[in-house]
Chain A
Amino acid sequence: MTKLLWEPPFIQPHRLGEINKFGRMKARDNYVEHVFGVPVALLKEEFGSPCFVTSEIHFRNNLRNLKKAFERRYGDVIHGWSYKTNYISAMCNIAHQEGCYAEVVSAFEYEKARKLGVPGKKIIFNGPNKGKDILERAINDGAHIHLDHLDELNLVSKIASRLNKIVEVSLRLNFDTGFTEPWSRFGFNIESGQARQATRLLAASKNLKLSGLHSHIGTFILEPKAYIQQVRIMCKFMREIEASHDIEIDTIDIGGGLPSKNALQSIYLPPEQVIPPLSEYADAICNTLIEETNYRNQLKRKKPTLIFESGRAAVDDTQALIVSVVGNKRLPDGKRAAILDAGTNLLFTAYWYNHQVQMTRPADGPLADTALYGPLCMNIDVVRSSIQLPPLEYGDTLVINPVGAYNNTQWMQFIEYRPNVVLVHEDNTYSVIREREDLEVMCQQDRLPEHLKIAFSTTEAKK
């Protein structure tokens, strides 16, 4: 008699609409044994579970394709690597080796870029909270400062005056493209006249010189036409202020927002079917910019340099997360559930993506609706609320991807140690690019006042 595979006996009623296209199909062949060419088992053994695995060649290729798409169509293009998307040092340096500037939004990110050896002239300094000291450093370094609000404008002006410098700045703009929810809390609004007011102040300033315009219309933008509108509105504003003030705009920075091949929870169709190809975005952006700046040819003026700050489109699909099953459950409604050793502490993006989850061995049972939970003691720690998976066993290894954007920055130091991040090099060798945390790391910022140095007195401890 063939052995029956152990699983507690279970009966589950069918609900209307629940029987789906997967039926009771077996998924024996839907598994992966390698990530980025390296055996999963080897990575798990050497670096533990969970473990992020990143591909250098993938990242380089994405960066090159992005740059090429814009350069071929427009010419003078700069890619600012959005540090917040993934600022592990090795990742930043791959981007810089590929010619990217650093796009930073805080003192920490600014200092990190400088520490990595990025010259100030190749730093784009965005963000709503640039303190006095870091602004002074950025001014001295010759970084590109993108002004976010009037108080910042005044602060930069004061520092520049004290240092007796003329500082070139860009204005961050916000406006309604009609396609995306306007990110109106960042920068100066065009419709309300704020942007005009700031321009007037800059035109009158002795120490500040407006030379660039910037906006970021949102993230994961599925409609290339949104960028057409963005570029049109920015260029119209540029012509207006150039006509009414002694201002010349040298750079147009369109921010980021290009989508990655990930599955948004709100969208039913798979990413391949909903995400337009890069060429459509590049056509939309570059053709509009060429059209809108043609007038400069007649004036024999240089066209503005195009800056883009793509984050997720460059890095999301360059990283996977190896995880392990640490427990199985049946929920009261009969649904299967598994607990993983990684949850939203490491996968912040699980809150809005349905990440792909793959087995690493052939399935030995039919697919069933399964919930995947993380290890945190929080009800919202859900990696997937519903995914068709075969029966999972304790210790099973799963591969979750793509996870390369925003997780290595937004991960939480909550309850669990953060794990190793491994980079697979171009020659298929690999190394750790961020060590897993340990108790020492977790406690190194703690300070114990003298009277709290001892948790239990020696006599009490013996009890």
Chain B
Amino acid sequence: MTKKSKLKLGNGNRCERLHALAISETGFIFDPQTGQSFTVNQTGLFVLNGFKKGKDSETVSHDLADACSVPIELAQSSVEAFILQLERYL
């Protein structure tokens, strides 16, 4: 499976996992399934909240590029890397 297909969060399980996460405004995350907690930075929080709202990675990348005034390519590649991290932990 390529990164792209996962980026779209077509995987229902993962979507559920994301919804189950308790995410605080400051970026503190608790995964009730494993008891593991995490910290995300502000941009990570932005991306996670986008996913929770059901947006796909393309849309989230565009939103992020807008919110931070950075080139879309930078936002896209960073979101891809972020998803790789999520896959490691969730």
Q: What is the interface of chain A, defined by CB distance below 8 A to chain B?
A: 1, 3-14, 24, 334, 365-366, 368, 391
Q: Is the pair A10, B67 in contact by a Cβ cutoff of 8 Å?
A: no
Distance in angstroms between the alpha carbons of A372 and B15 in the assembled complex? 37
* Residues of the A chain whose Cβ atoms lie less than 8 Å from the Cβ of B39: 11-12, 14, 24, 368
Q: How far is the CB of A61 from chain B (nearest CB, A)?
A: 44
On whether the beta carbons of A9 and B37 are closer than 8 Å, the reply is: no
Chain B residues with CB under 8 Å of A1's CB are 67
Give B contacts to A, CB under 8 Å.
Answer: 26-29, 36-44, 46-48, 64, 67-70, 78-79, 81-82, 85-86, 89
In the complex, chain B residues whose CB is within 8 Å of the CB of A6: 43, 68-70
A9 to B68, CA, bound (A): 11
Is B38 touching A3 in the complex (CB atoms < 8 A)?
no
Q: Please give me the 7 A-B residue pairs with the lowest Cβ-Cβ distance, nearest first.
A: A9-B44, A6-B68, A9-B82, A8-B78, A9-B43, A4-B67, A14-B37
Question: In whole angstroms, how far apart are the Cα atoms of A10 and B40 in the complex?
Answer: 6
Question: 19 extra interchain contacts, Cβ-Cβ under 8 A, other than A6-B69, A14-B36?
Answer: A1-B67, A3-B68, A4-B46, A6-B43, A8-B43, A8-B78, A8-B81, A9-B44, A10-B40, A10-B41, A10-B82, A11-B38, A12-B39, A12-B40, A24-B39, A334-B85, A365-B42, A366-B26, A368-B39
Q: Which residues of A contact B78 (CB under 8 A)?
A: 8-9
Chosen A-B contacts, 28 in total, with CB atoms closer than 8 Å, are A1-B67, A3-B67, A4-B64, A5-B68, A6-B43, A6-B68, A7-B43, A8-B43, A8-B78, A9-B40, A9-B44, A9-B64, A9-B78, A9-B79, A9-B82, A10-B40, A10-B44, A10-B82, A11-B48, A11-B85, A12-B39, A13-B36, A13-B37, A24-B27, A24-B39, A365-B41, A365-B42, A391-B41
Give complex CA distance A137, B44 in Å. Answer: 69
Q: Look across to chain B and name the residue whose beta carbon is closest to the beta carbon of A18.
A: B39
**Nearest-neighbor residue (CB-CB) of A14 within chain B:** B37
Contact of B26 (CB < 8 Å), options: A4, A14, A24, A334 = A24
Task: Looking at the assembled complex, report how far the CB atom of A265 sits from the nearest CB atom of chain B, in whole angstroms.
Answer: 26
Q: Which residues of A contact B89 (CB under 8 A)?
A: 11, 13
What separation, in Å, do the CA atoms of A184 and B81 have in the docked complex? 55
Once the chains are docked, how many angstroms separate the CA of A357 from the CA of B71?
Answer: 32
Pick the residue among B36, B46, B69 that contacts A9 (CB under 8 A): B46
Chain B's nearest CB lies how many Å from the CB of A384?
20
Q: Nearest Cβ distance between residue A413 and chain B, in whole angstroms?
A: 38
Q: A4-B46, A24-B26 are in contact. Are A9 and B67 (CB under 8 A)?
A: no
A residues in contact with B48, CB < 8 Å: 11
**Residue pair B82, A5 in contact (C-beta under 8 Å):** no
The residues of A that contact B44 with a CB separation of less than 8 Å are 9-11
A7 cross-chain contacts in B, Cβ below 8 A:
41-43
Query: A residues within 8 A CB of B82?
Result: 8-11
CB of A389, distance to nearest CB on chain B (Å):
14
Of A4, A366, A391, which is within 8 A of B68 by CB?
A4
Q: Which residues of B contact A10 (CB under 8 A)?
A: 40-41, 43-44, 82, 85
Query: Are B37 and A11 interface neighbours, CB within 8 A?
Result: no
The CA of A11 and the CA of B18, in the complex, are separated in Å by: 13
Shortest distance between the CB of A199 and any CB in chain B (Å): 66
Q: Bound complex: CA of A24 vs CA of B34, how far in Å?
A: 23
B42 → chain A, closest Cβ, in Å?
6
Chain B CB within 10 Å, residue with most, of A10, A11, A365: A11
CA distance A140 to B24 in the complex (A): 77
Q: Report the minimal beta-carbon distance from B50 to chain A, rounded to whole angstroms.
A: 10
- A11 to chain B: which residues have CB within 8 Å? 29, 38-40, 44, 48, 82, 85-86, 89
Residue of A nearest to B60 (CB): A9
Cα distance A365–B47 in the bound complex, in angstroms: 18
Closest chain B residue to A19 by CB distance?
B37
Smallest CB gap from B40: residue in A: A11
Cβ contacts under 8 Å, A9 to chain B? 40-41, 43-44, 46-47, 64, 78-79, 81-82
Contacts of A366 in B (CB 8 A): 26
Residues of B within 8 A of A3 (CB): 67-69
Docked Cα-Cα span, A368 to B81, in Å, equals 20
In the complex, A9 Cα to B42 Cα: how many Å?
7
Tell me which residues across on chain A come within 8 A of B42, comparing CB atoms: 4-5, 7, 365
CB distance from B82 to the nearest CB of A (A): 4
Cα separation A334 to B41 with both chains bound (whole Å): 11
Output the nearest chain B residue to A334 by Cβ-Cβ distance.
B85
